[in-house]
Amino acid sequence: MTRTVFVSSTFVDLQTHRKAIWDMLAKFDVTVRGMEQFGARTETPLQTCLIEVDQSDIYVGVMSFRLGSIEPTSGKSYTQLEYERAIALSKKVFIYLVDEENALVPVRFIDRGESQEKLDSFKSILRERHTIETYTNEADLVAKVKRDLERHISPRGGIESNPDEFSFSAARLKTFMLLPKAVAGTEIRLRLHVEGRPYPASRVVCQAFNLEFGGTVGLPISVLEPKGIESSDLPDLYISAKHATELLPIAKGDVLDGYMKMHFSSKKIDSVRARFRPHTDYPNISAAASVLGEAVHYEADSRLALELSKTLEFKSGSASAV
């Protein structure tokens, strides 16, 4: 059965993003609905939008920095009213929010004042209700929409052979090691081997990468796929509580396959591990120094990070232990 997809977003700022999504959806056995083909109708623009949502099976919501047109009675944007209609009718919902740290957006497409406050409030609702994805540009957005839809809809002509994700990931990861800012915010697929016990991520790490302090764990890792990645060059993996509670207990020897978001920060980070109570490794007193040696601390002037955003497979190493 052919499914119907409704693409919801503001238009002026996301016109190229919408076109990229429409072009990608042409490869799927779906009917696409959206403002591009509304044409002249007797209904009001809002009524037209809601009718299209009613007739759709899947709602794809894309948000950037513009609130868009406002319905005067409710004071809500058309995009929010379309979303609320999709929720009320129990449609399948996919939400994509712009990466506010890494996306490059013209200033003219960024709302301020009351519009920004309303948009931020709407985004907060979306983050609370859904496992959202973030995007940095058109290509990143299309890749994520395609990946999500493939779990529910087959491409035209049957299952499409996926490109070699690991080869793509290897190239992106090598770029990340040399020019991290150029690819920060994008995702790659990795199959990882856990090299040590998880630890609570420090406050500085969480602030640097916009993670939740007290709700994030770090994990020493090596890469199984793609091949040829030196583990000594690799940052630790950071996992939010949402994913960690599904995976715990995590132990050395486990294997994790999934999508990881690449982060870069220029902030100085002296420790990646959280200290939830005072602790001194090498007290600076003569008696201890004569036995333990002088403590030496090195501060990093920048840091890289990987963040788990979607798990494909997880295998406990203990299951195969002899």
The pLDDT tens digits for 227-245 are 888 877 788 999 988 788 8
pLDDT of 182 over the 70 cut: yes
If asked whether residues 279 and 206 sit together in one domain, one would say yes
CB contact at 8 A, 209 and 267: no
Residues 134, 97: contact at Cβ < 8 Å?
Answer: yes
- CB-based contact 173:188 (threshold 8 Å): yes
Cα dihedral 141→145→150→151 (10° resolution): 120
Q: Where are the alpha helices (DSSP H) in 65-186?
A: 78-88, 113-129, 138-149, 165-178, 180-183
Alpha carbons within 13 angstroms on the beta-carbon side of residue 243 total: 24
Structure confidence by residue, pLDDT tens digits, 290-308 = 555 565 555 565 677 888 8
What percent of the chain is modeled with pLDDT above 70?
Answer: 84
The verdict on 173 and 314 lying in the same domain is yes
**Alpha-carbon span 286 to 293, nearest angstrom:** 9
Q: Give the model's pLDDT for residue 99.
A: 93
At residue 138's C-alpha, the angle toward residues 132 and 143, to 5°, is 60
- pLDDT tens, residue by residue, 74-120: 999 999 999 999 999 999 999 999 999 889 899 999 999 999 999 99
Put the strands of the sheet holding 92-98 in their side by side order: 30-33, 3-8, 58-63, 92-98, 133-135
Pick from 98, 115, 149: which residue ends a domain?
A: 149
15 and 134 fall within a common domain? yes
Boundary (domain end) residue, out of 86, 119, 149:
149
Last residue of a domain, one of 121, 149, 177: 149
For residue 69, the enclosing domain spans: 3-149
